[in-house]
Amino acid sequence: QSALTQPASVSGSPGQSITISCTGTSSDVGGYNYVSWYQQHPGKAPKLMIYDVSKRPSGVSNRFSGSKSGNTASLTISGLQAEDEADYYCSSYTTSSTLVFGGGTKLTVL
Amino acid sequence: EVKLLESGGGLVLPGGSLRLSCAASGFTFSSYAMGWVRQAPGKGLEWVSGMSGINDITNYADSVKGRFTISRDNSKNTLYLQMNSLRAEDTALYFCAKDHRWVGGTATFDYWGQGTLVTVSS
């Protein structure tokens, strides 16, 4: 199972919006609405930010939103804040009943 | 409060074995699927294995299939990962994680432990 494709890095200024893409295939992203996004700060465990493509867990800011079109999912962060600077990973359930992650995207808040 | 505490990591020789444990609390352990995710130093996340809450259904990444075995003891609220025939490329921080709900495999990890480090080296 190949990793999902994410941009290595994205950046934005405080207050701006950014979008991170996550491209897979019809065997994972395109085949299920089980796409999740995780935020990981250095030295910390990942934190679930979005699940089932666009649902937010309790306690996650509504500045985070998710969507999907075909084989590509996206995470949008609006009103960027310094604390959003972190690594972001997408994941998707697959036809093999496994889970595949993206390679990760480093978000820099300028 | 959900808590997941991994243990059992350490330094092991190539070809050796190690068993990781994950003690869970703060939720009805047997009702939820659990999984292991690893992260090599400076690298991204890699799903390793998942297990249903009941019925003992297990799934593995191709990279560990036949070498690693996931199991759980619902009476002890503990998840395990038995790792055999370890290779240098298995060196990573191993996270235990709780699944949001079972869909035939693990799909969404809503809580994570802090990880236990496994180093495979001679």
Residue A79: predicted pLDDT: 97
Tell if the CB–CB gap between B107 and A36 is shorter than 8 Å: yes
pLDDT at B88 over 90: yes
User: What average pLDDT does the structure give for chain B?
Assistant: 96
Given a cut of 90, is residue B107 above it in pLDDT? no
Mean per-residue pLDDT for B11-36?
97
- Number of inter-chain CB pairs under 8 A, A vs B: 69
CA distance B24 to chain A (A): 16
B12 alpha carbon, distance to own chain's centre: 17
pLDDT on residue B101: 85
Q: What is the mean pLDDT of residues B17-34?
A: 96
Out of A1, A97, A100, closest to residue B104 by CB: A97
Reported as a single tens digit per residue, the pLDDT across A34-60 is 999 999 999 999 999 999 999 999 999
Six-digit token string for A48: 């679930």
Q: Are A28 and A93 in contact (CB under 8 A)?
A: yes
Chain A interface includes B77 (CB < 8 A): no
User: Residue B67 burial (CB < 10 Å; 0-12/13-18/19+)?
Assistant: middle
